[in-house]
Amino acid sequence: MIGPVPPLPPWVDDANAPLLVDLYELTMAQAYWREGMADEEAVFSLYFRQLPERRNYVLACGLADALRFLERLAFAGEHLDYLESLGHFSRAFLDWLAALRFTGEVWAVPEGTPVFPEEPLIEVVGPIAAGQLAESFLMNQVCFQSVLASKAARVVTAAGGRAVVDFGLRRMHGADAGLKSARAFHVAGVAATSNVLAGRIYGVPVAGTMAHSYVQAHDDELEAFRAFARLYPETVLLVDTYDTLAGVRKVVELARELGGSFRVRAIRLDSGDLAELARRSREILDRAGLERVEIFASGGLDEDRIAELVALGAPIDGFGVGTDMGVSRDAPVLDMAYKLTAYAGKGRLKTSPGKPILPGRKQVFRREVAGEAAGDVIARAGESGPGRPLLERVMAGGRTLAEDPGDLERARERARREIGALPARVRGLAPADPPYPVAVSAELAGYAEEVRKEVEAG
Amino acid sequence: MIGPVPPLPPWVDDANAPLLVDLYELTMAQAYWREGMADEEAVFSLYFRQLPERRNYVLACGLADALRFLERLAFAGEHLDYLESLGHFSRAFLDWLAALRFTGEVWAVPEGTPVFPEEPLIEVVGPIAAGQLAESFLMNQVCFQSVLASKAARVVTAAGGRAVVDFGLRRMHGADAGLKSARAFHVAGVAATSNVLAGRIYGVPVAGTMAHSYVQAHDDELEAFRAFARLYPETVLLVDTYDTLAGVRKVVELARELGGSFRVRAIRLDSGDLAELARRSREILDRAGLERVEIFASGGLDEDRIAELVALGAPIDGFGVGTDMGVSRDAPVLDMAYKLTAYAGKGRLKTSPGKPILPGRKQVFRREVAGEAAGDVIARAGESGPGRPLLERVMAGGRTLAEDPGDLERARERARREIGALPARVRGLAPADPPYPVAVSAELAGYAEEVRKEVEAG
């Protein structure tokens, strides 16, 4: 008798990522294969249909993971055995699937670029079966990373140059989000993360202070501050475990004790009326000659609250932002789509109400006037403007072309530059009025009309 | 000259999960170690402070992953090297950290149990350093899995016995959420998922239909239906790529062609006025003698929209639910906390405004009257009621006690039974008025007061 099979590790990795698909992608792949269509060239376009209410732009993020998936797409034997057990797939198809690799090309907007509705973030051009199998994974990664980068860009804007630190790991949706959100936030201008693994894997600067539990574990708050500052002289002390201002006075007491060796960098406020507590803490610190001790604030912050604190002139030098940024609470999702726009050299669309598709391969041109983005045009691939083309060829023959498509510092620098080039009303927190202008080129509009007529005739 | 170091794989697994911590957990651990406190027993309690506006209860989920983390907590050499590079940690501490394991016990509410504010979902009892290091990971996993299970429970309630299928992978926050949400949804009563990897790893039933791209790739919608049904006779055909009712008529045409061998199980509507289209599709199918072909609906569904369709009497037999359930859009997060409630045998709390902590180890008792849950009491551990205790000892000496704490079918059956035992107003979609009653026992309240006085005196 065979004992119970040990459960599989509950993790996604390069080896099992190809199974992170919706079943229909595999059943469709088998159908394409049976119909002799599987190797015919298709174009899939990844874009979103509408901006969420509180977003003026979306910051593209997640391309590096998309390319990694396509480059490594390969089903392992044990995955094929599992698929066979589902009863939908023939062994002949699974043998064919075992050899399947993505051999096509990818055009994409680089990470850190602001994008707008209907603009392709990624176009996958290759045999239809492999392109179809990438649908869910590419959407999953690009959607959430772009959602979170877009939220973080607002928080960074609100902070107006003050440092923002990501504290969101504990409230994010799972380990993969915890890891990759820290990277997406850094692309968007967040200075550092509390997440150590994100530091290890991506090189995001890691930062941290102390938790209430540390203070609680000591019988006395001052003793906790003393012990922590002894070990970490330039630390940040959390002052609100009991009475916030009494906590600040204990920091002053510690400074008196330590004299010239007191090097505590900041205090952290985590509850209560942050503007008022920051003002009163600043007074207490300044009166004690501790002008260079900074004030760091956290606790339920989002871009609105930060903008309010900044507008009130609260003497806060940096913000720790967790929950609201960590799940992009006001807009946790984008209406993202991955749609077939061409097959066998012919443009494709669908006519379901409210969900149009722009057919064929496309390019997006961004016009700039005196260094400011003046409007985008979605055009057919091969058109020549007006403006700067945003989609670049990043993969050919199934191999990534860019030196390092996941280069974090380049993506961060691009985001800084490209957000900075948006009109002030689009960069800002309030709804842009008018919204950033995006047009469809006459050639693409004409082509869409032509394809629609063919489909309606067919 | 050494070439560029290849980037690390962007995945979390058992080996690197211990680094998925907030930096302050490690700096505090070193401080505890330096102060000779690291091995002192602490109690950490994981709970949430408030119900989101549109939730009457939270369905506990994620315990299996929490236990897996605690059981395997061990830092590898290369992680210690990385930590050393941060400049905060001494080699002596890192050597100590290398040998650190979680050796304590865990009490927890089993997965699939409805829980309420301030009730511990998990209590971690063990040396403070290891307990502290589990903070972010446990919160990350238990928070999002409980958030998503709670949302799914509402969707299942709204569907009133009709099957709900999870289509959310593409919009979820990352790969880990994609995988584990499918499991959390199944705990909450969702019938199946489109996510193949969740089927492979957890045994969740997998289901799927077809995408618009499949229909689009064919020159003719009927030809697409014919080819798909030939390969998958009992499939579901997606009828809204072009004109929905014309699509339904093509299904009828296919039935005529195939005669007795026509076995298509259902059609799927994915856009437009679903109630009206379902009614008219039903008429077309019934007139053609296809009464046994079911109607499956998807496209922007949540519990409110499903309840509305059910109330309208729309002839829909099952629902595919993606985005709104996949990120729990209306409440993507819980105000979850992981707080020190005892250290060295003494109860601990903090007094920051609005964030009370119930000190010490606790138990939750659920009173039932005639099989219906009548109210909970949060008590000190060791009290004897009234009612059934919800927290069970699931780990001792760092080893999991339960046969399989992640047993999916048992968690699902528990959820069905325990949600069924809630009062109708609490199970329902509308805000429960009055809310489910949760009290603090006189003994716990007295103890909290006592600890508060000690803290204020100290």
pLDDT on residue A354: 66
By Cβ distance, the residue of A12, A136, A200 closest to B170 is A136
Report, as an integer, the average pLDDT of A167-174.
97
Q: Is the Cβ pair A9, B13 closer than 8 Å? A: yes
Tell me whether residue A261 is in a domain: yes
Tell me whether residue A396 is in a domain: yes
Q: Is the Cβ pair B136, A79 closer than 8 Å? A: no
Among the residues of B208-289, which ranges form H helices? 212-217, 221-231, 244-258, 274-287
- Cis peptide leading into residue B233 (ω within 30°): no
Query: Shortest CA distance to A174 belongs to which of B239, B328, B2, B250?
Result: B328
Query: Shortest CA distance to A319 belongs to which of A331, A302, A336, A333?
Result: A302
pLDDT confidence of A450, banded at 50, 70, 90?
A: very high
Query: Shortest CA distance to B240 belongs to which of B310, B313, B303, B297?
Result: B297
Question: A1: which residues sit within 8 A by CB, 6+ positions away?
Answer: none
Q: Is the Cβ pair A10, B232 closer than 8 Å? A: no
pLDDT on residue A456: 80
By Cβ distance, the residue of B170, B174, B336 closest to A180 is B174
> pLDDT digits over A383-429, tens only?
998 999 999 999 999 999 977 777 999 999 999 999 999 999 999 99
pLDDT on residue B455: 82
Tell me whether residue B187 is in a domain: no
Pairing of strands B399-400, B392-396: antiparallel
Rounded CA separation B77/B83 (Å): 10
B5 at the A interface (CB within 8 A)? no
Tell me whether residue A104 is in a domain: yes
Tell me whether residue B161 is in a domain: no
Residues A375, A446 within the same domain: yes
pLDDT confidence of B223, banded at 50, 70, 90?
A: very high
3-state SS class at B456: helix
Residues A24, A139 within the same domain: yes
How large is the greatest C-alpha to C-alpha distance in chain A, in angstroms?
86
Can you give the CATH number for the domain in which A357 is found? 3.20.140.10
pLDDT on residue A258: 97
Residues B261, B335 within the same domain: no
pLDDT on residue B4: 54
Query: Shortest CA distance to A67 belongs to which of A116, A24, A111?
Result: A111
Rounded CA separation B22/A381 (Å): 45
Torsion-angle region of residue A299: left (phi > 0), alpha (psi -120 to 50) or beta?
left
Can you give the CATH number for the domain in which A224 is found? 3.20.20.70
> pLDDT digits over A265-316, tens only?
999 999 999 999 999 999 999 999 999 999 999 999 999 999 999 999 999 9
Q: Which residue of A has its CA nearest to B218?
A: A343
Rounded CA separation B430/B426 (Å): 8
Report, as an integer, the average pLDDT of B25-40.
97
Tell me whether residue B358 is in a domain: yes
Residues B362, B432 within the same domain: yes
Residues B120, B52 within the same domain: yes
> pLDDT digits over B372-431, tens only?
999 999 999 999 989 999 999 999 999 999 777 779 999 999 999 999 999 999 999 999
Rounded CA separation A295/A275 (Å): 11
Tell me whether residue A272 is in a domain: yes
Q: Which residue of B has its CA nearest to A41?
A: B217
Mean pLDDT over the full length of chain B: 95
Q: Is the Cβ pair A144, B214 closer than 8 Å? A: no
Residues B55, B106 within the same domain: yes
| Domains held by chain B: number | 2
Residue B435 is inside which H or E element, if any?
A: none
pLDDT confidence of B354, banded at 50, 70, 90?
A: low
Residues B271, B386 within the same domain: no
Residues B294, B363 within the same domain: no
Rounded CA separation B174/B303 (Å): 23
Residues B110, B64 within the same domain: yes
By Cβ distance, the residue of B9, B24, B340 closest to A217 is B340
Q: How far is A173 from chain B (nearest CA, A)?
A: 5
Q: Indicate the burial class of B430 (C-beta count within 10 angstroms; 0-12, 13-18, 19 or more).
A: exposed
Residues A350, A295 within the same domain: no
> pLDDT digits over B295-337, tens only?
999 999 999 999 999 999 999 999 999 999 999 999 999 999 9
> pLDDT digits over B265-304, tens only?
999 999 999 999 999 999 999 999 999 999 999 999 999 9
Q: Which range of residues forms the domain containing residue B137?
A: 17-148+331-457
User: Taking CB atoms and an 8 Å cutoff, what residues of chain A touch B296?
Assistant: none
B439: pLDDT strictly greater than 80: yes
pLDDT confidence of B182, banded at 50, 70, 90?
A: very high
Torsion-angle region of residue B323: left (phi > 0), alpha (psi -120 to 50) or beta?
alpha
Residues A251, A304 within the same domain: yes
Which residue is it, tokens 């979820």?
B172
Q: Is the Cβ pair A132, B350 closer than 8 Å? A: no
By Cβ distance, the residue of B135, B228, B271 closest to A353 is B271
B215 at the A interface (CB within 8 A)? yes
Q: Is the Cβ pair A353, B199 closer than 8 Å? A: no
pLDDT on residue A7: 80
Q: Is the Cβ pair B136, A169 closer than 8 Å? A: yes
B163: pLDDT strictly greater than 70: yes
pLDDT on residue B405: 74
Q: How far is A137 from chain B (nearest CA, A)?
A: 7
Q: Alpha carbon of A305 to those of A198, A321, B329: distances in Å?
A: 26, 11, 21
Residue ranges of B 155-214 with Cβ closer than 8 A to chain A: 167, 169-181, 194-197, 199-202, 206-214
B222 at the A interface (CB within 8 A)? no
Rounded CA separation B45/B337 (Å): 8
Q: Is the Cβ pair B271, A24 closer than 8 Å? A: no
A24 at the B interface (CB within 8 A)? yes
**N-to-C CA span, chain A:** 59
- Read off the amino acid at residue B289: G
* Domain-terminating residue out of A261, A287, A316: A316
pLDDT on residue A1: 39
* Domain-terminating residue out of B283, B301, B319: B301
> pLDDT digits over B336-346, tens only?
999 999 999 99
- Read off the amino acid at residue B68: R
Rounded CA separation B332/B144 (Å): 8
Residues B272, B345 within the same domain: no
Q: Give the residue, B457 or B118, on which the prediction is more confident.
A: B118
Q: What is the DSSP letter of B110?
A: P
Best probe of the B interface among A5, A85, A167, A176, by most B CBs < 10 A, is: A176
Query: Shortest CA distance to B188 belongs to which of B448, B408, B363?
Result: B408
Lowest mean pLDDT among A20-34, B4-18, B275-289: B4-18
Residue ranges of B 231-250 with Cβ closer than 8 A to chain A: 231-232, 235, 240-244
* Domain-terminating residue out of A316, A345, A368: A316
Q: Report the DSSP beta bridge partners of residue A438.
A: A376
Tell me whether residue A36 is in a domain: yes
> pLDDT digits over B84-103, tens only?
999 999 999 999 999 999 99
